[in-house]
Structure formats: C-alpha cells, structure tokens
Amino acid sequence: MSTVSVTITVNGKTQTAEVEPRTLLVQYLRDNLGLTGTHTGCDTSQCGACTVLVDGVSAKSCTVLAVQADGSSVTTIEGFAPFGTLHPIQQAFWEEHGLQCGYCTPGMIMTTASLLARNPDPTEEEIRHELHGNLCRCTGYHTIVNAVRKSAELLASGAEPAPIDQVAGN
Amino acid sequence: MYPEQFEYQRPSSVSEAIGLLTANPDAKIIAGGHSLLPAMKMRLAAPAALVDIARIPELKGISASGDGATIGAGATYRELMDDAALAAAYPVVAETCDKVGDPAVRSRGTLGGSLAHVDPAADLTAVMLALGASVTATGPNGARTIGIDDLFVGLLTTTLEPDEIITSISLPASSAGTKQAYEKHSHPASGYAVAGVAVALQVDGTTCTSARIGVTGAPEYAMRATAAEDALVGKELTAETIAAAAEKATEGLGELNGDVYASAEYRAHLVKVLTRRALTRAAL
Amino acid sequence: MVLSRYVGASVKRKEDPRLITGSSTYVDDLKIPGLAHVAIVRSPYAHADITGIDKSAALAQPGVLAVYTGEDLAKILKNDYPIIPEGDTGHSHYKDRDDEDAIVVPKNRPIETRRVRYVGEPVAAVVAETSAAANDATAYVEVSYKELDAVIDPYEAREDGAPQLYDKVKNNISVREETVHGDVASALNDAAIRFEVKIRSPRCHPAPMEGRAILAQPDPILRGLTFWSSTQAPHWNRNEIAASLGLSQTQVRCIAPEVGGGFGCKIGGYPEDFIVCAIAWDMKRPVKWIESRSENFLATNHGRNQWAEFEVGADANGRMTALKARILLDSGAYPKALDLAWATWVMSAGPYLVDNLDYVVEGVYTNTMANGAYRGAGRPEAAFYLERLMDLIADKGGLDPTEVRRVNFIPPEQFPFETLTGEVYDTGEYAKALDHAMEVIDYKTLRQEQARLREEGRYLGIGVASYVEICGFGPYESSTVRVEPSGQVSIFTGISPHGQGQETTFSQMAADYIGADFEAVVVHHGDTATTPQGNGTMGSRGLAVGGAALMMSLDKIREKASRIAAYILEASAEDIELVDGRYQVKGVPGRGVTLQDIADKAYSDDLPEGVDPGLDTTDFFRVPEETFPFGTHIAVVEVSPDTGETTIVRYVSVDDCGNIISPNLVTGQVHGGLAQGIGQALWEELHYDNNGELITATLTDYALPKAGFFPEFESHHTTTTTYLNPMGAKGIGEAATIGSTPATANAVLDALEPWGIHHLDTPLTPEKVWRAISEASA
C-alpha cells in the first residue's frame, strides 16, 4: 500500500514524514513523533482524550487523518508551554484539583485553550456545554469547570507561563 | 483502531475531484470526516480511496443577507455559527450548529457533508428542510440544482449521483427573517438527535401564511411534517393551533426508528412535543 | 511551601505537574525497542464450541510474527487461569462449604481451547510488527464454531434444563449468601405497612478513560519477566503471572505505571495479562496489547447487575420490622469477584435496626461478560435497595422520608454495633449527617417550594438517601519509609493509587509526623520490585489501610529520630518533641535539629549506644475490622412530564469518612463518586440482546455522564472518627457512589408522586419516565 508525504509543524517544529494514508493524527503524534501526552480513550470520537490544537483550534486527533493535517500547525500538551513552565491553564488545573488519574487532562486543557481563545469569559453553563466532547470519569467535572473559570481569570489578568517550581506550593 | 487501507487523494478543484470519483467508483468523499472516519475505524465502511475536498477553495465561503444565502458546501458548523449576516437572516442555523456534537466536531464538520451523508440523526438536515434550501450538485455533466425536498430519499441515501459533489447550499429569500427554531432531544451518549424538529414560519400579523417543518432523528431520514404544516397555514398562531398542528407532526413520516434508548412510540411522542416547543418558541 | 500542619490542609497535588504536562507514562506511552504488538481475535458467539482454528492465512499477512491459540498457550502456561485471587480477598465464605451443596467455582484458561461463553471472549492472539498489522490480521484467523444455545436471562439460567455454562456447576449457580434471623413471616403478618417490590440494579460499565493495557518483556536480570499493566493491584498480578508461567515470584516484576482510572475493573488478572506475558516469555521479545474502547465494553468486567425481590413490613411509624430479600446476581460467564454477593448481603440492613431479616443473594452464570467489582462493588446495590424501600415505606405510610430514616437508624449509643450479618460497625452518627444535609438544603422550605411548583404544573422531586458502607479491607497493607542520608524521605507503599492522590496525602503525613520536607518526599507505588507486598488500591482502602501502615512506619522513624536528636542535643529522648518540622527539647525551643541533621547522623558512625545505623523501616498493618463510613445525600430534580426528561437542580452530599487529611482530594473523590452514582440512576446501562450480542458497545451508545449533565455539587461532611486506625479516618472512594444512586432515583420518583408512581427501575431514562406517566394518566 502506498504512503503519502505529510509535513506538519508540531509544537513549532516542522517535520516531513511518509505515512500510510490511514494513519490517524493521534497515531502520527504518538508513534512517529513520540509525543505520548495525547491519549486515546475511545474509538468513536466521544471522549476527547486525544484533543489537540490544529491551527489553534481544538480537534480530536483520533478523527483526523495525519494527511488531513498536512501543512497545519499542531500543538500538543508537550508544546503547550515552554519546557519547564506551566501555561496559566495548566496552573489552573493544578490549583483547582481539576484532575485525578490525568488521562483526560491533556485533552481537557486543549479544549479549554480553544474555548477561551474564542470566548475569554465563559459562564459556567457555557463551559459545561463546551466540555461536551471531553469525558472525565474521575472528577464529576466540578473541579474541571472551576479550572476553566480559573484559567479565564488568570489569562484575563495577563498571566504567562511560569516555571513549574515557581507555581508549586500554595 | 485502524481503518482499512485506502488511497488518499487531495484534488485542488471540484472538477478534479469529480474526475477522481468518476475514475474510481469505490472512492468516497471526505470533508470534515467526522461521520466517515469513525465508521471506517469501526470497519463499518472501507472505501478504496478517499477524495479529500476540505481544501477546495470553491467550496468555501458564506454570503448571506435578507435576500437569501449561499453557503459553500465546505463551510464548517463553526463558520456557520460565526457568520453574522447568516445569523441575522437565518438564526436557526447557528442555534442548531451549537447543538451539533461538540466544539471539535463543530470546527471540522461541514454542512455539505451533513446533507450528503444524511445521517438519520443529523441536525442540519431538518433545518435545511425547514428553510427550504436547495443544493447545487456538480458532476461530470456540470452543475444542477436539487431542492432539499428532493435530496433525501432514504437511510444514508440521497439523489446525488456517486460522482456528484454538493458544492453549495442556497437558502431562499422567502425563509430569511422567518420565525425559526430548532428543538432537539439529544442522545445522552452520542449527542445525536433522538428526535429533532426545525420550524420556519412566515407570519402576517398573527396569522401563519407559510410553514415548513423538518423532522430528524425519529424518521428513517429527515422529512417534512407536512400535515402539521398544513394545519398551521392560514391559522392564527395560538397555543391551541400550535398544539393541534403538533399532534399531526408524525403523520406521513413512515415507520419511525427505535432502539434500546428510545422506542419508535417514544420518538413519535417526542416529535410532537418538540414540534410544539419549536413552534411555540418561534411564534409566541 | 511551608505549612506548620499539612494534615487537614488542601495542598496542591504532587502528582499533577507530570500529568498536566503530558510527561507521565501510561502503559501505551512506554518506548521499548523491538516491541511487537498483540491483537486479540474474539468470539462473535455468546456460546459455542470451537471446532477448529486455521492460522495460516493470518500468518501470511504482512508483518505478522505469530498466532497463538488456546492450545499454544496451554503449552506455555503451567496453571489454570486463576481468576479468583484465592485467599487474597479475605471474604470467601462460600468456598468453605464442603457439603454436597457446595458451589463449585470453575477454573478456566486465558484462552479456552474448547468452548467460548460470551461475545468478545478471546479465541486467539495475533502478534505482528505493528499494531495496525496485528489488528488487520485478526480478520484472517479462521475459527470454526459450533454454536450452542446461550442463556442471557439470569432467571432462565438457574432453571432446570437451561443451557449449562459449566458441566460441574449445577444450575449455573455461581455463589450464594444467606441469613435468616428472627421471624420474618410473623413480622410481615403483624406489619401496619407491608408491600412487595422488585428492584433492578442495572448492568453498568466502569469505563475508566484508559482501558486495560499490558506490555511484557523478558528480563535478563530477573531471569524472568517484567510486565507493565494498567492494574489496581500489581502484587496480585505479579503473583498470578508467576504461578501461571511457573516462575518464582522473584523472577516476575509487575509495574503499574500511571494508570488512567480503575473503579474496580482493573483488579486482578484478565485473560490478556496471561496471554501477553506468555507470548513475551515464549517469543523472548517485548510485546504489548492495548485495549480499544470497543474491546473494553465487551471484555472488561461489568458491574452491579442484580435483580432484587423484597417483602417488607413496617409499623405505623415507618419502623422496618421485617425485611425479606431474594436477590439474583448475574455473574456473567466467568467467576470474577463472586464476593460481590457477600458485599450486598453483609450490608443488607445498612444503617438501620432490623430484627427480622431473611436475606438471600444468589449468583448465576450467563453467557455475558463477567460481572466484577465496580466502585462500591456490591454495597451500592444493598444501599440502593434499602433507600428505595425506605421511600416506599414513607409512601405507603404517608410519612416523610427523612422521618422514616430517622426512626430506623441505629442510635449512636449502640456503637460498636454488631449486625445480623456479623459485621461490627465501628462508629456512626447517622442522624447527624441527615440533619446536616437537611439544614444545608433547607429541607422544610424545599418541600414548600415543591408544593407551590406543583400547583404551577412543575414537578420538583426531592430524594433522600442515607447509607453506611463497609470499606478498608485487609487483610493487611504495607509501608516502607526510608529517610535518605540527605534527610529527604522516600515512601514505598503496597497500595497502588491511580488518581486518588496518595502521593500527596502520604507526603502530608510524613511532613507532619516526622518533619519531612513535603516537596522532597517521593511516594513510590505500583512496582513489585521496589514496594513491599501489598494489596493495591480498591475498596476505599488507600488511606484507611495503606495510610495506617504508613503511620506505623512514621511512628517508628519518629521514635528513632527522636533518640538520635536527643543524642545530638544532649537531652533525654523522652524530652524530644517534633514542632514545626524540628525535633527540639521540650521547653527549650531554641535547641532543636531537623530531620536532615538526624539523617546525617543516622548514616554516620557517630551514633548513641544501642542505635543501629540507618533510618528506615518496613511495616505491615493488619486490619482489625473494616470501617463503616456513612452519610446522607439529598438530590433535587425537576422532571418534565411531557418528555420524561430529568434535570438535576441541586445536589447536596454529606459524607462522614472520619478525619480528613486532604480535604480537596476527599471532595474530589466525592464528586467523582456522585457523577458515577447519578449516572447509574439516570443514564448508564449495558444491554445484551437475546443472542448475547452487546448492543451498547461504544461510547455512542453507553452514556458516560458529561459536564453539562450536572449542576455544581454541594459537598459537605460530618466527622465521626474511627478507633480502627491511628488516623481516625474511614474510606471515601466509594461512599458518594453509594449515596448518589438512591438519592437521585428517589428524587425522580418523588417528582412522580402526583401520578402515584412509586417505583421504576434505573436508569430513569426519559422514555421510562414518560411511559410511566402516560400509563398512570391513562
């Protein structure tokens, strides 16, 4: 079976690879590039664990072929903030206990980023609506919603990525 | 989960895409891919080739006003939601798009894809029926216009030829500014419409002069509730006339879908309730 | 971060930085050179004999390395598939029976060679260079079957003449627990309130966001095998795999790396664990199997899944005088967690005084996926039944549901309280939790509001549930605390947290109790090579049992540290106290040393007489009795009568888990439990058709709750400590799941009271509610 050439800028780095057309973006990110922070939680694009940003907008990388992302710029959790720092959204998820097992968390963070880029000050109802495509089995969503609210507040106040050890503690 | 192997082609024009489809009868079009790829991963679909039309410039763009709208088939739900002129003339479109799937689906799924795939539980199919849309389909012999009432003919089946592509969707001036609403009962797992009802009403004073009602989820494929429409036209729009019309909403829809979540009987009931709710919200 | 007291403070989790940056490692994230991939061929039939398997076409597929059948595995695996970790659960009453009515527990193999018993059962494994190639090739393994009659309905399954799953198991009976106490027949005859009801506890799917996953590779250092498994109890898996491969326990290492949720379904070995380890051992190369979500639905334990028939008697005040129950538990096709029957049975009377009890739980095998532990594991069922019964007593007697509970509660002065099923409830103040919940929600005003809204044609429902549950199971848990020479603390625990947050909780404890630097504590878990033998994380035991073991270690470390501090400070050990992280001489705050100073000395040759070098200890906490957390939940819902849809308006939980060390983590456990319990009440149910086909086998069919389904939760606590462990803490992992299903169901049924509807089975889907209203209105 033939392969196709894809050139995708992932976390700022442009790379070209030959892939089978059927290669999903999530498989390309995980298997070809070793970016395993993006997870797979279902087969049917319900769970959102695989959510990444494609050209700044949330996309379920299990329902996008790598070749469909050819020429795009993809951000995964690994490239979401400069290495060693936490993006304000990450800070908020930590601060608000917005995660337990952590499996859905990278996807939740990506969806949050996409939401806040479009709507910087969402209501609780809007947040819950926008999280429809991201499933969490641990938290009951309560603290995730709080984390999204907190993210909005931090971003509105001009917060920037900060070194992990500086945002550690309480 | 892996789809079966396939060839991938990315034409840069509609004519090139049609050429590819004509050359390979086992090829399928992919736009947003949010219906097709899950089916391929579950191996419920295994096309030999995918023709990716997502980047064809001719399929993009939305122009809307009170005199009608022309929407590129490749317009995503998100683009439909964000177009202010479209929202002004046809608010039900944005309202409905916000009820489709989730943000990631909305930013990739396309109107053309929804209409060509005609999933029995899609949302926009009902809305396009209510708004009296027409689609422009382009094939090897050129373009033709298909009225929305003539597009859907069965489960996942349209009157499109295998090598025809929906290139644009037009909304008529007559439905711009009508009283519109879409009501939906979402499946708690999939988010798809267990039943969905879109209405568009023209009103003179308080009298209904024209009514179009599209129903999805419950019937085999999206259909108009003509008996309910007929019950409204010429009538004063009151709670009573709306309730009476809603009672007729399932007439002519044929055998309704039923599954473990919602039986055909319940869906019939939902169609009536949602019709009443949509009409009430639109008109009162 | 400097806190004088960590215990009881909400600190940010130590686990989170790696999780929010995607830098952690779940099984599928491991990067192992030479890795081959396994895909499983699964039975399309619910019940069939395997008459032949032809691998040749699959072996000819590109990238395919091998195909293993049951016959092939039988040559590698020495023992039967030990699904039941015998002796490990501590509750296996039914196995003690050796009379002629003894219930035989069948042994199985990871891949059965002769017969398959549920759709999705493994029949062969394909190994290939890539996961895609392995998956592709499964379609080319040609398996011939002779289809047999399947039995899906558990009531049918125990009838004479029903299809038999196992030759030696009579009437497909898997397990039986029973108690008769008092005179139920007389009590029923004398009862002012008397009724019968049948209640279904639906078949649910645990559905952690990460499915099961396993990677095994030969390990030359061990002369054996190391495997990574997404499991809740790595020591159990290690022991099972070692026995199965005929290796010693020193030769096998199990690592549970980051685990993406469990909720009970990742307890114990599954066929795929044995298959993957056997293949790695046989091929002498690393192999991996990652469960897809579709496989997860078919082949990972389902939960709940009981039918319960009751006869209940109560006096005019609502005091329950007789409880007769015949409960049927659908065990599915294989014996997994048969002690679920015990768990329901043992909690039969919950927080209530019952004098006359006749309670039987019987399990049967059916041709469906095995039923196993799911968050609460048998106790949610018992509590759900009782709380429905309390509401039915209130309905029949025209009583307020809160009053019915109040008159039935075991009063505080009767604790420790021995139940009719032989358990000793440690401590409880049930009315206190009820009062608190009623106060938070303003119960009286709420009832008035409900009455007012009904006049407007709006149907509010108020649901109350009081529960007690059993948790903190033994038989023991382990802990190693090692103060490194530089003074930082390493903790090794036998529990295996996967989201619960004990890396944080245990660090808090070490900070306060031995003066450890909180930030520098590292809590190791989930690796059998480094942690002491343990029983994993399940049954709300992480803190109550694992924490108790840690406390033993911390006490010993503090005692030795105090002796060394005394030596440094030239004081008597009895005069040393730990204050704000410093070991100082009582009354002389200026004279003190840190744990770092002490460690420096502990690993030197300058030690007091009789003190050995080093500062570490390994301890095992033996569970004296289980603990019994309790609480009251109140749900407020609105039901739309025209569609039957339910909206949750408010949800107040009051849970009492004793002393709390990490408040934010406790609240998180409550929230997650609420979502699952409410999910069971309103949306979640697995369905098999009559042929044994699972018709809700994806997340487009099975509704995991979404963010928009819930309001903000209002979670509160009362505090009733236990004497059973040094922290005074009970478990909290399952409590909210247990309270929330009945509270939610009771709320919906309360909303339906105007139609005279008293009971409907969960999940209370819109159609079910609409249908009941329609029928009642007709």
Strand blocks (E) in C371-432: 417-418, 424-425
Q: Nearest CB to A44: which of B38, B103, B107?
A: B38
Contact map slice: A 52-111 vs C, CB within 8 A: 76-78, 80-81, 86, 90, 93-95, 97, 99-106, 109
Respond yes or no on whether the N-terminal peptide bond of residue B172 is cis (omega within 30° of 0): no
Q: Nearest CB to A45: which of B38, B98, B103?
A: B38
Do residue A37 and residue C23 have CB atoms under 8 angstroms apart?
yes
C761 within 8 A of C200, measured Cβ to Cβ:
yes
Q: How many domains does chain A have?
A: 2
C117 within 8 A of C267, measured Cβ to Cβ:
no
Q: What is the pLDDT of residues C652-666, one digit of tens each?
A: 999 999 999 999 999
Distance, CA of B159 to CA of B146 (rounded, Å): 9
Q: Locate tokens 């019915």: which residue?
A: C404
Residues of C in contact with A90 (CB under 8 A): 20-21
Instruction: State the pLDDT at residue C2.
Output: 41
Instruction: State the pLDDT at residue C101.
Output: 64
Residues of C in contact with B269 (CB under 8 A): 643, 770
Distance, CA of C318 to CA of C313 (rounded, Å): 9
Which of A63, A79, A95 represents a domain boundary (last residue)?
Answer: A79
C336 within 8 A of C83, measured Cβ to Cβ:
yes
Look up residue A99 and give its two tokens.
């995660």
Residue C749: name the closest of C758, C740, C762, C741 by CA. Answer: C758
Mean pLDDT of chain C, nearest integer:
95
Please give the order of strands across the beta sheet that includes C173-181: C173-181, C356-365, C320-332, C303-314, C193-204
For residue C37, give the DSSP letter: E
Domain boundaries along the sequence of chain B: 7-49, 66-171, 178-283
Instruction: State the pLDDT at residue C106.
Output: 84
Which of A31, A54, A79 represents a domain boundary (last residue)?
Answer: A79
Residue A73 and residue A8 share a domain: yes
Q: Nearest CB to C767: which of B4, B192, B262?
A: B262
Query: What is chain A's alpha carbon radius of gyration, rounded to the nearest angstrom?
Result: 16
Read off the CATH number of the domain in which A70 is found.
3.10.20.30
Establish if C208 touches chain A: CB-CB under 8 angstroms: yes
Residues of C in contact with B262 (CB under 8 A): 766-767
Q: What is the pLDDT of residues B20-38, one digit of tens each?
A: 999 999 999 999 999 999 9
Q: What is the pLDDT of residues C64-88, one digit of tens each?
A: 999 999 999 999 998 666 554 443 3
Contact map slice: C 156-175 vs B, CB within 8 A: none
Distance, CA of B214 to CA of B211 (rounded, Å): 10
Do residue C671 and residue A134 have CB atoms under 8 angstroms apart?
no
pLDDT surpasses 60 at C531: yes
Establish if C672 touches chain A: CB-CB under 8 angstroms: yes
Domain range enclosing A23: 4-79
For residue C326, give the DSSP letter: E
Q: Nearest CB to A22: which of B3, B105, B191?
A: B3
Banded pLDDT at C93 (limits 50, 70, 90): very low
| Chain B with chain C: Cβ pairs closer than 8 A | 48
B251 within 8 A of B228, measured Cβ to Cβ:
yes
pLDDT surpasses 60 at C526: yes
For residue C15, give the DSSP letter: S
Do residue A101 and residue C11 have CB atoms under 8 angstroms apart?
no
Q: What is the pLDDT of residues C121-158, one digit of tens each?
A: 999 999 999 999 999 999 999 999 999 999 999 999 99
Which residue of chain B comes nearest to C137, CA vs CA?
B4
C332 to chain A nearest CA, in Å?
Answer: 24
Respond yes or no on whether the N-terminal peptide bond of residue C475 is cis (omega within 30° of 0): yes
A9 to chain B nearest CA, in Å?
Answer: 18
Do residue A63 and residue B4 have CB atoms under 8 angstroms apart?
no
- CA distance readout (Å), C51 to C39, C70, C140, C164: 21, 12, 16, 19
Do residue C771 and residue B266 have CB atoms under 8 angstroms apart?
yes
List Cβ neighbours of B12 (8 Å cut-off, separation of 6 or more). B55, B56
A71 to chain C nearest CA, in Å?
Answer: 24
Pick the CATH number of B178-283 from 3.90.1150.10, 3.30.390.50, 2.30.30.100, 3.40.50.10800: 3.30.390.50
Do residue B38 and residue A57 have CB atoms under 8 angstroms apart?
no
pLDDT surpasses 80 at C432: yes
Query: With 0-12 CB in 10 A as exposed, 13-18 as middle and 19+ as buried, what is B227?
Result: middle
Q: What is the pLDDT of residues C313-338, one digit of tens each?
A: 999 999 999 999 999 999 999 988 88
B104 within 8 A of B33, measured Cβ to Cβ:
no
Instruction: State the pLDDT at residue C100.
Output: 56
Instruction: State the pLDDT at residue A124.
Output: 98
C442 within 8 A of C462, measured Cβ to Cβ:
no
Read off the CATH number of the domain in which A129 is found.
1.10.150.120
Which residue of chain A comes nearest to B37, CA vs CA?
A63
Helix (H, G, I), strand (E, B) or coil at C329: strand
C219 within 8 A of C225, measured Cβ to Cβ:
yes
Instruction: State the pLDDT at residue C108.
Output: 83
Do residue B34 and residue A1 have CB atoms under 8 angstroms apart?
no
Do B66-171 and B178-283 have matching folds? Answer: no
Mean pLDDT of C285-298: 98
Q: Up-side HSE of residue C38: CA atoms within 13 Å toward CB?
A: 33
Do residue B188 and residue C695 have CB atoms under 8 angstroms apart?
no
Do residue A131 and residue C664 have CB atoms under 8 angstroms apart?
no
Residue A66 and residue A90 share a domain: no
User: In sequence order, which ranges of C532-592 are alpha helices (DSSP H)?
Assistant: 548-569
Partners of chain A (3+ Cβ pairs below 8 A): B, C
Residue A64: name the closest of C727, B104, C236, C393 by CA. Answer: B104
Contact map slice: B 161-190 vs C, CB within 8 A: 185, 187-190
Which of A61, A79, A97 represents a domain boundary (last residue)?
Answer: A79
- CA distance readout (Å), B242 to B180, B236, B283, C226, C714: 14, 9, 9, 69, 40
- CA distance readout (Å), A35 to A90, A110, C92, C683: 18, 15, 45, 35
B66-171 topology per CATH: 3.30.465
- CA distance readout (Å), C428 to C60, C318, C385, C388, C416: 65, 21, 20, 21, 8
ipTM of the complex model: 0.97
Banded pLDDT at C104 (limits 50, 70, 90): confident
pLDDT surpasses 90 at C62: yes
Residue A111: name the closest of C704, B110, C705, B104 by CA. Answer: B104
Instruction: State the pLDDT at residue A1.
Output: 63
Which residue of chain A comes nearest to C503, CA vs CA?
A100
Q: What is the mean pLDDT of each run of 10 residues along chain A (170 residues)?
A: 93 97 97 97 95 97 97 98 96 98 98 98 98 98 98 97 75
Write b or e for each residue in B79-110: b if 16 or more Cβ atoms lie within 10 A of its Cβ, otherwise e: bbbebeebbebbbbbbbbbbbbbbbbbbbbbb
Q: Nearest CB to C699: which of B185, B189, B270?
A: B189
Query: Which segment of C101-110, C145-154, C362-371, C668-677 scores lowest on mean pLDDT?
Result: C101-110
**Strand partners of residue C49:** C115, C146
Residue A95 and residue A152 share a domain: yes
Whether the full predicted model's pTM is greater than 0.90, yes or no, is: yes
Establish if C498 touches chain A: CB-CB under 8 angstroms: yes
- CA distance readout (Å), C720 to C159, C372, C415, C657, C663: 47, 31, 12, 7, 15
Contact map slice: C 612-671 vs B, CB within 8 A: 642-643, 645
Q: What is the percent of chain B with per-residue pLDDT over 90, rounded to a whole number?
A: 98
Instruction: State the pLDDT at residue C107.
Output: 80
Distance, CA of A46 to CA of A43 (rounded, Å): 8
**Strand partners of residue C81:** C108
